[in-house]
Amino acid sequence: MLEVHDVPDQIMDRLLGRLASRGLDGFVHFQTSRARDNVVLHYLSGVQGLEDSGVVISLGSEPVLLVKDFEGDRAKNSGRIKDVRPTTTIPLDKAMVELEKVIAEKRLKGKKIAIDDSELSVEVYLRLKKMGIELVPFSDQVKDLRMIKTEQEIDKIRGAAMIASESLKELRKHLDENLTESQLGALLSLDIENRGAEKSFIHVQFEQNASFPHHISASTRVASPGFLVVDLGARVEGYNSDITRTLTVGEPDSEHNRLFRTVQQAIEEATRRVAPNAKVEDVAKAARDVIASAGFPQPEHRIGHGLGLNVHEAPIIEKGFPGTLQEGMVIAIEPGVYIKGKTGCRLESDLLVTSDGVEELDTPFCPLVL
């Protein structure tokens, strides 16, 4: 796989283009705690897992990454920003002194600076406001940029989808071993890590436990006949996959069969709609129409979502939501049917929108079979 800094820096160029076209002079961000994936800094710098770190980007000048003292070498070696400045970033007021120096050095005082208002905390915002810069909410633009993945980002998601699929396929071999949901989850987890990815999350839900969309894997033994819904995400260099299969334990009866066929048809109909310029709500409607025709209850959750540094990101794939699919988007489609207290079935596949249609990232490695 190519190193991010060996290829043209599309992400930074795209951001600079958006800033320029909107009359903005720069972009600034600072993040204290390391959330699951400090997405803004990771996205812009290419460096994973930064906390107490920030970035100052100005038009016509090199971007600057401020990191904790001991993170300098790691940030330089793994990221795309060359001007890395290790410094004292704790407590926040010290970091703000350093950040303000860079803002002054880049002649951004008195200028209009974009912020990711979805990710920036109020405590940083209130301090930035005192620095004599005009802050412009820009998170919609950042989300919009993040929807269209670069080749390097796609490679990472493809890798994560492949690993999740292969691990899930491997799990089928353990279904008759009388294990609990938790134990099956632990086996999956180990398999994912052995393949070189990180586990992002794993939900293993058997029969009645699968009759609700979310359930924490527990001590229920997977032994009697029924549906085992396995929803899992693997992560490669911070980029996520998110796939679900419904596996059968024992022989499915005719109602289970009908349930599975309905969800399978729902995901297939939705996938068929995926192409550049397709309306996101048409993709969701295709899945819901199949479920409605079969007389099953509709899932309370969304039919699909974008996928990348976050497991859930733009676009939302649902009826009533605006927008169209575009080449370079990666989305997860996940129709499900839940018969409360009885059983449930969900299938989820990760799809890349290509120039002329769709590439299924996971199903070649683990088909949607019953």
The token duo for 80 is: 């795309």
**Nearest to a copy of itself of 1, 216 (CB atom):** 216
What does the chain come to in residues?
370
Stretch of 185-193, 224-232, 244-252, 268-276 lying at the interface with a copy of itself (CB under 8 A)? 185-193
Number of residues that bind a copy of itself (CB under 8 A): 47
**Nearest to a copy of itself of 2, 356 (CB atom):** 2
Contact 14, 143 (CB under 8 A): no
Q: Could you tell me how far CA 192 lies from the centroid of its own chain? A: 17
Exactly one of 28, 46, 67, 71 binds a copy of itself (CB under 8 A); that residue is: 71
Exactly one of 193, 289, 327, 359 binds a copy of itself (CB under 8 A); that residue is: 193
Q: Is 32 in the site for a copy of itself (CB under 8 A)?
A: yes
CA dist 88 to 45, 49, 69, 94, 105, Å?
19, 17, 6, 7, 18
**Nearest to a copy of itself of 114, 361 (CB atom):** 114
Q: Is 121 in the site for a copy of itself (CB under 8 A)?
A: yes
Establish how many alpha carbons lie within 13 A of residue 368's alpha carbon, considering only the half-sphere containing its beta carbon.
Answer: 25
Exactly one of 241, 310, 343, 363 binds a copy of itself (CB under 8 A); that residue is: 310
Exactly one of 173, 300, 355, 356 binds a copy of itself (CB under 8 A); that residue is: 300
Surface-to-core class of residue 327, CB atoms within 10 Å of its CB (0-12 exposed, 13-18 middle, 19+ buried): middle
Nearest distance from residue 189's CB to a copy of itself, in Å? 6
Q: Is 74 in the site for a copy of itself (CB under 8 A)?
A: yes
Rounded to an integer, what distance in angstroms lies between the CA atom of residue 84 and that of residue 87?
10
**Nearest to a copy of itself of 137, 364 (CB atom):** 137
Selection from 84, 99, 107 nearest residue 129 by Cα: 99
**Nearest to a copy of itself of 71, 207 (CB atom):** 71
Q: Is 199 in the site for a copy of itself (CB under 8 A)?
A: yes
Q: Is 119 in the site for a copy of itself (CB under 8 A)?
A: yes
Exactly one of 40, 187, 259, 291 binds a copy of itself (CB under 8 A); that residue is: 187
CB atoms within 10 A of CB 293: 11
Stretch of 7-15, 64-72, 241-249, 347-355 lying at the interface with a copy of itself (CB under 8 A)? 64-72
Q: Is 244 in the site for a copy of itself (CB under 8 A)?
A: no
Contact 57, 12 (CB under 8 A): yes
Strand partners, 226: 249
Contact 311, 304 (CB under 8 A): no
- Of all helices (H) and strands (E), which one includes residue 231? strand 226-236
Contact 205, 227 (CB under 8 A): no
CA dist 220 to 212, 246, 369, Å?
15, 17, 24
**Nearest to a copy of itself of 215, 360 (CB atom):** 215
Nearest distance from residue 286's CB to a copy of itself, in Å? 20
Site for a copy of itself in 75-114 (CB under 8 A): 90-91
Q: Is 126 in the site for a copy of itself (CB under 8 A)?
A: yes
Nearest distance from residue 207's CB to a copy of itself, in Å? 18
Phi, psi of 122 (to 5 degrees): -60, -35
CA dist 14 to 44, 148, 211, Å?
10, 10, 43
Exactly one of 36, 101, 169, 342 binds a copy of itself (CB under 8 A); that residue is: 36
CA dist 284 to 123, 155, 270, 301, 305, Å?
38, 26, 6, 11, 10
Exactly one of 35, 97, 104, 369 binds a copy of itself (CB under 8 A); that residue is: 35
Stretch of 151-159, 179-187, 276-284, 359-367 lying at the interface with a copy of itself (CB under 8 A)? 179-187
3-state secondary structure of 300: coil
Residues that bind a copy of itself (CB under 8 A): 32-36, 48, 51, 69-71, 73-74, 90-91, 115, 117-123, 125-126, 137, 139, 182-183, 185-187, 189-190, 193-194, 196, 199, 212-214, 216, 300-302, 310, 312, 316
